[in-house]
Amino acid sequence: MSTEAAFAPRAGFIAPEIAAEFPGLRLVWAAGRARGGASPAGVRRRLRGLSDRYRGSGVVSMRVKPVPHAFRAFYRQIGLDPDVQRIPSEEAAVARLLHGEFRSAGLTSDACLVALLETGVPVWALDAAAVDPAGLGIRVATAADAAAPSGCPAPEGSLIVADRARAHAVLFDEPAAGSAASRAAGPVTLFAVGVAGVPDIHLEEALWLAADLLSRG
């Protein structure tokens, strides 16, 4: 089965009140099967190549580039200080400076990291068994979400990634333990988040990159 057939991208829902306040906010998701396990040599080489591209001066200047700038602006819109709670691409870049390289953490994590580094768009992987087949979207967390046994720390009023049955992650945070994809081979659901100023093609490319690495290695 081809990557395109296995991971067919779909637009996620955005709650009407969120769409009205943040018209550029989007979520795209796709489900397929991940090979899992440790990353093959080709993916590890790709991470090493990306490590060489992300050096001190480049990391400092990346915030003025269009995609990081768009995410930083959105963080401010939702009350987050991007200099304190970094956007995903800057968080990854700072980790590279601290560790001296992008460290491999298994194929699932590495595929999402490569997609983020190549496009600036964050991608996360969920255990497909935990996701309603109707798909994902973004809504406001309720008191019921905070009290649910799903393990997602979603304070009431926060923006969350959810399906019609449960919350999976606070927006831009890592997925809850009960929702995150494991390192093992198996079905996964990928999702990418875009904001105003980030072209749709960047979301599609990020999702495709992660899906291609997960399915082919």
40-51 pLDDT, tens digit each? 999 999 999 999
**pLDDT tens sequence for the chain (217 residues):** 445 447 899 999 999 999 999 999 999 999 999 998 999 999 999 999 999 988 776 667 788 899 999 999 999 999 999 999 999 999 999 999 999 999 999 999 999 999 999 999 999 999 999 999 999 999 999 988 877 766 687 888 999 999 998 999 999 999 998 999 999 999 999 999 999 999 999 999 999 999 999 987 6
Tokens of 77: 């819109």
Q: Rounded mean pLDDT of the chain? A: 92
82-113 pLDDT, tens digit each? 999 999 999 999 999 999 999 999 999 999 99
The full DSSP string for the chain is --HHHHT--EEPEE-HHHHHH-TT-EEEEEEEEE--SSPPHHHHHHHHHHHHH--HHHHHHGGGSHHHHHHHHHHHHTT--TTTS--HHHHHHHHHHHHSS-----HHHHHHHHHHHHHS--EEEEEGGGS-TT--EEEE--HHHHHSTT-----TT-EEEE-SS-EEEETTSPPPTTTB--SSSEEEEEEEEE-TTS-HHHHHHHHHHHHHHHHH-
Cα 8–Cα 13–Cα 121 angle in degrees, nearest 5: 65
128-140 pLDDT, tens digit each? 999 999 999 999 9
- Residue from 120, 115, 123 nearest 62 by CA: 120
